[in-house]
Structure 1
Amino acid sequence: MTFTQLWAKRAFFNFTLLALAGVLLRYKILFPLPLVDQKHLLHAHSHFAFAGWVSLALFIGIIHLLKPNEQQQKQFNKILWAQQISSYGMLCTFPFMGYAAPSIFFSTLSILVSFWFAMVAWKMISSNAQLSFEKKWLYTALISNIISAAGTFTLAYLMANKIINQDLYFGSVYFYLHFQYNGWFLFSIFALFFSQMKERMLPQHIRLTNLFFYLLLLTLIPAWFLSMLWMRVPGWMSTSGAIAAVMQVIALSIFIRLLILMRQQFRLVFHPPVHLLWLIAVVAFSLKIIMQGFSAIPALNQYAFGIRPIIIGFLHLVLLGFVSIFIIGYLLQNRLVYLPTKLSFGGLWLFVVAMFLNELVLMSQGLAAIFYKPFPFNNELLLVAACGMFTGLLLFYREQTSKYASLQPGTQVISS
């Protein structure tokens, strides 16, 4: 088992544990669970999702791309263990005390680890001539991850000092989420994605990819204003946000055009399950861009930020449908995890189906709220979806530790 394979397995264990926390959150809405505070558990769930699953998995993906030597692996191993310590520290402290000295310590440690990773990775990227195509994507991702920390530090300060300022509180949350979702996550994902395709790209494909990148880069800061439109903001911020929304739709059309032009290459390069997973990720990414565009319309903005199920549905659409589904596909494509048995294959698709159910219920619940209509059994259905995602991931992870998975690197990925 290679260095990145070992850490990919650990990341998947974290993902499974994260899904279990999601089950507890949904369970507590319906049934008493006196030992756990719902709000505190929610903080633990969200922090562990970002640090223990997504960021850890993206670290692993980038490390796999960098192909470090033995000495560099030792340095990355320290970083990844530090990330694990901070992630589990947050998971074990937030549920019982919320924002307090221990949980703030571990969340701060997580930020410092991301700085550490950025410095080490940046140095390796800049000296690696083979990554010339991915460099701009990776640099933007690392910078965005660092910038997002400003939101976390502000939020921690407000919570620790019990400062009640709704605009500042939600502004800090959305600042952090924006530069994570639309910066660190998004640019890392496309760096990893295009690294798989660059050798098969023609000049026209490279031009479209560069145009796609610069449109996303230009909209990175003004698109944050879209999440601030529920506040009283200057007119120039509203206008900038609206322009950014239009530019992102243009960027999406360019990306889809690129995918259509390269569809034959995709079929040749990607394993069938990966092809389907990344198709789902593309659909989720497209819905993300379209929904952000709708949020620029004043008549719809109040629904985008005023109805909780829509907010939660959007966050899960991006985190699960786009980010997590892409990561799973990338790890499978590069044989960092496997589908060694039909049970693992079934577990993966159980997770996908349950994820669809989760999104369907959340968005239906949001639409029902818009029209002041009840949505019966929504919490029960969300609990079923959470249990389905946890069970699917548990089956998938279990098979990673089976004797079949130890047959790599020759283990075959099941395609049907």
Structure 2
Amino acid sequence: MNRFLRLALGFYLLATALGLLLRVAFVQRVAGLDFSHALHAHSHTLYFGWVGLAVFVLAFERVGARGRAVSAVLWSIAAISLASFLSFLEGGYSRASIIISSVALGVWLAAAALWWRRARGRQGVDVAFLRVGVVYLVLAVAAALARVGLMVAKVGGPQGGRLAVFAFLHCFAGFFLFCLMGLLVAEAPRLGARFDEARLRRQLCVMAPLAWLTFPLGVEGGASGGLGLVARAAALVLLYPGALWAWNLWRAAEGAGRTVRGGLRWLAVWFVLKLGMEGAGALGLAAWAVRARHPTILFLHVVLLGVITGGLLLLVLPRLGRSLSPALTLHHLGLAGMSTGLALTSLAGLGLPALVRPGLLLAAAGGGGIVLACLGFTLGAARPLQHACAALMTSRARKSCT
């Protein structure tokens, strides 16, 4: 299964390198770069090629699922991710991209069904988190199909379409988050960490039924009306299980080694920042964040690169024989710089435009740190393949000599 993890890291490098170009494009025009097309290629590759593939590899491993069917599903996810990257980069939401995205829905459903069948009979709080994550994946696919239904029936208008799209993205992020939590709990003994299971069960009981309800807050105008009221109330209630998870992460790190302890506590910090932004959105700042865009970009990077990627790296790199330090520290420091830059840029919406350019420069510099860290991860993960090729060449040379 390690080859799929190396492939996922390759997608991560591809996505972060393109993301750095996007950050640079805010400051200086990049010749030949179509910003809109590159943005879609960046986000799809980060979402599906890196996180989606890595999560499913680790989830299948957790339940001992191997064989041709598992390999076929994982290769399909990889193929769809590569096709999406190329298609979106070349033509944005072209007909080819729409077709590839439609095929991808079937691949994700097949992966979910296969994992669910292979996980039958498995017990434990970690598997419970994984099951909830897979349910959220199915909800995401249902939201995407609802978007198609709204278009065919010509109902709901543009707002209905936007809500369906963000419901898809939001539930897919829920799939990542719940699965990551389960995988961290499952791997805690190997990491030298120890989670409080009672807190985990309380957290899951509240988060599982409520987390999907907050999706309207990501759409302009979604925080108003009855749907918005439900979303804001759910976001405030979710602060409780979120705080349980952040505290559990912090306490679990106490028994771990220095590098893992630092990694887990970085996760706790990013998760608390995520909670703070969600709470602020529920209290009335969601509409401003969506209009200003940079606060939304900040939130997405905190979740995808801080919480999800930070956790996955703790799980993936040791399996590939890679040291977590110092590249992991560089990753978090780079994200801290990018987040600070995006925060400064976001303040322009509050009447402080003088901070825009320094914020953009700092965000680009932070992005450079993330890419350098990713190069360290990826090149290190490629070493076993390099050693295997060298051994093969040496063996052939010896045979030719004899």
TM bracket (short chain): 0.7 to 0.9
Q: What is the alpha-carbon distance in structure 1 between the residues aligned to residue 14 and residue 49 of structure 2?
A: 9
- Give the counterpart of 2:209 among 214, 218, 223: 218
- Separation in 2 of the partners of 1:46 and 1:152? 16
1:405–1:354: structure 2 CA closer, same or farther, 3 Å change rule? farther
* 2:73 aligned with 1:79: yes
The answer on 1:316 being equivalent to 2:301 is yes
State the distance in 2 between where 1:34 and 1:51 align: 27
1:254 aligns with 2:248: no
Structure 1 pair 232–339 and aligned structure 2 pair: CA distance change class (3 A) = closer
Which of 232, 235, 238 is the matching residue for 1:242? 232
Q: Name which of 212, 221, 227 aligns with 2:218.
A: 227
Distance 1:345 1:190, change over 3 A: closer
Higher RCO, Cα 8 Å, sep 6+: 1
Partner of 2:346: 366
**324, 331, 336: which is aligned to 2:319?**
336
More helix by share: 2
Cα 1:373/1:35, change in 2 over 3 Å: closer
1:295 is matched with: 281
- Amino acid in the other structure paired with 1:35: G
Which TM-score applies when normalising by structure 2? 0.86
Which of 38, 41, 45 lines up with 1:41 in the alignment? Answer: 38
Conservation of the 8 A alpha-carbon contact between 2:249 and 2:264: no
Deviates more, 1:22-31 or 1:271-280: 22-31
Deviating more after overlay: 282-291 vs 38-47: 282-291
> Displacement of 1:165 after TM fit?
5.2
Q: CA shift at 1:62, angstroms?
A: 0.6
Residue 51 of structure 1 pairs with residue 34 of structure 2: no
State how 1:340-351 maps to structure 2 within 5 Å.
Answer: 340=323, 345-351=325-331
Deviation string, structure 1 residues 298-334 (Cα, Å, up to 9, x no partner): 3x233222211101000101000100000001224xx
The reply on whether 1:279 has 2:252 as its aligned counterpart is: no
5+ residue gaps in structure 1?
408-416
User: Once the 2 structures are TM-superposed, how far is the Cα of residue 215 of structure 1 from its aligned partner?
Assistant: 0.8
Q: 1:26 touches 1:382 (CA, 8 Å); kept in 2? A: yes
Structure-to-structure mapping, 1:388-403, within 5 angstroms: 388-402=369-383
Give the letter for the 2:321 counterpart: Y
The RMSD of aligned alpha carbons is: 3.1
Q: 5+ unaligned residues in a row in structure 2: which ranges?
A: 389-402
Q: Aligned partners of 1:37 and 1:116: how far apart in 2?
A: 33
Q: Describe the shift of the 1:159–1:32 C-alpha distance in structure 2 as closer, same or farther (beyond 3 A).
A: farther
Q: Deviations over 1:202-234 (max 9, x none)?
A: 9x9333221110110131233224335724743
Residue identity (%):
21
Q: TM-score, normalised on structure 1?
A: 0.83
Verify the 8 A CA contact 2:45 2:85 in the aligned structure 1. yes
Task: Find the aligned partners of 2:6 and 2:193 in 1 and give their Cα distance.
Answer: 31
Selected match of 2:128 from 136, 144, 147: 136
1:377 to 333, 337, 358: 358
Q: Secondary structure at the match of 1:221?
A: helix
Q: Deviations over 1:189-212 (max 9, x none)?
A: 11112223489999x933322111
1:387 is matched with: 368
